[in-house]
Chains A and B, each alone.
Chain A
Amino acid sequence: EIVLTQSPGALSLSPGEGATLSCRASQSVRNNYLAWYQQKPGQAPRPLIHGASSRATGIPDRFSGSGSGTDFTLTITRLEPEDFAVYYCQQYGSSPYTFGQGTKLEIK
């Protein structure tokens, strides 16, 4: 089983600042099949990134994904008020298709 470890667990930033979220896999993710999600309270997760670096439909370009193998990053430039949420990574390269534990992005 691939264990995904997200860091930091929580991040306090102000609107307008940039955020860097990390997702580290315990073994290489096949084909870099790594996705990022944003979740707000009471809502289903919203797809942001798939294939490590491809933005999902309708996602603004201030969100970008990078990385390969075992180390992946979600970068959010110029934080907007609506960006404060919980972010999860998921690997879909091999079963079980595990999620990271999440990073909570809070307003400072």
Chain B
Amino acid sequence: QVQLVESGGGVVQPGTSLRLSCEASGFTFSTYGMHWVRQAPGKGLEWVSFIWSDGSDKYYAESVKGRFAISRDDSKNTLYLQMNSLRGEDTAMYYCVRGYCSGGNCREAYWGQGILVTVSS
């Protein structure tokens, strides 16, 4: 079955960097676009970033543009989120999400269980 396991979270100081990883299994990783979605404590869901299946295009929310970078390594079935210049408002649970469509066939997205990032001095 589809599994997405996030890692790399933790407590960091403002202005520092962190890299999240998401290891995927149970599906052909290279054929799906992948998202990062976050949720601040007690708040709603916020889409963060998306990368196409072939890595050719990447999109970012305005709130993270220029600070975060999404990437993927299909040889390792792993998605990454490099987060630089972290701010207090980046504190959130970060979810790795498999995209909806592959090769024109669309179905529900799959979510990991999330990893907590806390930015605090």
Contacts and interface: CB of A to CB of B under 8 A. Distances in A.
Interface in B70-121: 95, 99-100, 106-114
A24 interface: no
B68 interface: no
B106 to A, nearest CB: 6
B50 interface: yes
The main secondary structure of chain A at its interface with chain B is loop
A47 B108 CA distance: 6
A36 to B, nearest CB: 10
Contacts of A50: 100, 106-109
A101 interface: yes
Nearest to B57: A95
B33 to A, nearest CB: 10
Interface in A37-87: 37, 39, 44-45, 47, 50-51, 54, 56-57
Nearest to A45: B111
Interface of B: 35, 37, 44-47, 50, 59-62, 95, 99-100, 106-114
Interface of A: 33, 35, 37, 39, 44-45, 47, 50-51, 54, 56-57, 88, 90, 92, 95-102
- 5 closest Cβ pairs, A-B complex: A56-B108, A47-B108, A95-B59, A99-B45, A97-B47
Given A47-B108, A96-B60, A99-B47, 15 more contacts: A33-B106, A35-B108, A35-B109, A44-B95, A45-B95, A45-B111, A50-B107, A56-B107, A57-B107, A57-B108, A92-B109, A95-B59, A96-B47, A97-B47, A99-B44
